[in-house]
A = this chain, B = another copy of it.
Amino acid sequence: MATKDMGAAEFSKVKVNCGRLMQSLHEVCEFGTGERWGSAPTETGMSRLALSDSDKQARDWFVHTTEQLGCRVTVDSMGNIFAVRPGRSGHNAPATFTGSHLDTQPTGGRYDGILGIHAGVEMLRVLQDLDIQTEYPVGVVNWTNEEGARFPKSMMSSGVWAGDIPEEDAHNLQEVGGGSATVKSELQRIGYLGTVPASHKAMPMAAHFELHIEQGPILEGEQKKIGVVTGVQAYKWFTLDIKGRDAHTGTTPFEARADALLLAARMIVHAQHLAASKGALASTGILNTFPGSTNTVPGHVRFSLDIRAPLDTTVDELEATLRQDFEVLARGEATAYASCPPHQGLPLSVSWQTDTVSPATRFHPNCIAAVRDAAHSVLSPLSSSPTDLVRDITSGAGHDSVYASRHCPTSMIFVSCRDGISHNPLEYCSPEDCSLGAEVLCQAILRYDQLRSTAAV
């Protein structure tokens, strides 16, 4: 069967093998449940940090499996792995890709990123089962260090591919937590430092689709099965350093203190109140106190700040206000939007470092249409009004699709996850929803291939 000849009847035959998908998902998730980082193990969670031994195991599985399924595998200089299945024609044309990531948070779940890769592999199996010949090559890409957990830059290697993050910066990133490993040293160690440059020029993509759990509560709350992702909200990541003065906790009156932790606490409370008032998000995930002793007032605190909103202007305004307000708080005064009273004490200093700037992203109408059409087709056997089970959605999280979209048409497919929980061992997506998502992905890729072959997009 050739995609260019497929009509509605043929598309409806494109079915995912749910049991096979779930088996693949859970077998490979064994790579990453053994090692833990900063938290106690759980039965269901994952800790597959980028470029760790368990990441290598999962990569080896990916390379082996896609080669068995007839793909040609390319590893680039960031360890991104591109598995490409040849098309009927257009051998030299770029592939239509689906991609996601195999790495996880230190106490992550089994679906974030992982589902997208396994759904891509399942797609290759379905194509083989049904002996479908795509017109153009199709591929699956595993992007390195999407999470930015071990090496603190999220969507790192799709960012290098897109030319937005210098490869040298990424290679030199050091692991958090005081270790000496860098991205490059770990790529070398696990054997995934490829020779092809990590670049959209060396490895162009005709399109990029990505299946992902929503990681939020919207689809579940509205009882939708599929989210057609039309874009991604803007976000910025910062590291803040608060400098005060170490002092004895028993002998230093409040008015003689420059307590960096008290100030950080006021900033964290203030940032969240201010963000909420603007329909934005603000979060601190990492905070370290120095010198770190019960009876020493910390003279230095470093913390992360993650701010997000659907519009770039909202993020920019929030950042600007916080920069002003943090100076006010550092002087011990109250801010205009009073989330905390003023405090006694000496003035402190605040410095900001911008780690990541990810502007709001709009996905491509052709890809969005392919996902929407695929979702309606997949859901029509389940409901007399399949459109009721589908909604357009903006992603709250960043994904590799953000960088992909800068150099090729892109869209994403969301499926719901229980209670909206993600980055947590309790993360869960039902086998039925995993399967539906994979089926929408498969059909969207085929529909896009058909579009390419008929309309020369």
Task: Give A residues with C-beta under 8 Å from B.
Answer: 37-39, 105-107, 147-149, 152, 154, 176-177, 214-217, 233, 235, 237, 245-254, 256, 259, 261-262, 264-266, 268-269, 272-273, 275-276, 281, 283-287, 289-300, 304, 306, 308, 339-341, 343-344, 355, 395-398, 419-426
> By the criterion CB–CB under 8 Å, are B308 and A283 in contact?
no
Interface of A is mostly: loop
* Distance in Å: Cβ of A219 to nearest Cβ of chain B: 11
Interface centre among A38, A276, A293, A398 (most CB of B within 10 A): A293
Pairs across A and B, CB under 8 Å, 10 listed: A38-B292, A105-B296, A147-B295, A235-B250, A249-B283, A249-B306, A252-B422, A283-B297, A285-B298, A295-B306
Whether A214 contacts B251 in the complex (CB less than 8 A), given A268-B261, A291-B39, comes out as yes
Residues of B within 8 A of A246 (CB): 105, 107, 423-425
Residues of B within 8 A of A37 (CB): 291
> By the criterion CB–CB under 8 Å, are A398 and B254 in contact?
no
* Distance in Å: Cβ of A109 to nearest Cβ of chain B: 9
- List the B residue with the shortest CB-CB distance to A276: B254
> By the criterion CB–CB under 8 Å, are A341 and B341 in contact?
no
**Which of B215, B217, B294, B304 lies in contact with A237, CB distance below 8 A?**
B294
* Distance in Å: Cβ of A276 to nearest Cβ of chain B: 5
> By the criterion CB–CB under 8 Å, are B308 and A249 in contact?
yes
Q: Please give the count of copies of this chain that the complex contains.
A: 2
Known: A216-B248, A264-B265, A287-B287. 19 other contacts (CB 8 A): A214-B251, A217-B256, A233-B250, A246-B423, A251-B396, A251-B422, A254-B281, A261-B285, A262-B272, A265-B265, A269-B269, A269-B343, A273-B343, A283-B297, A285-B293, A285-B296, A294-B304, A296-B423, A297-B423
**Which of B39, B252, B261, B293 lies in contact with A149, CB distance below 8 A?**
B293
- List the B residue with the shortest CB-CB distance to A238: B294
Interface centre among A149, A285, A304 (most CB of B within 10 A): A285
Complex CA distance for A272 and B37, rounded to whole angstroms: 32
**Which of B217, B287, B340, B421 lies in contact with A340, CB distance below 8 A?**
B340
> By the criterion CB–CB under 8 Å, are B273 and A341 in contact?
yes
Residues of B within 8 A of A419 (CB): 256
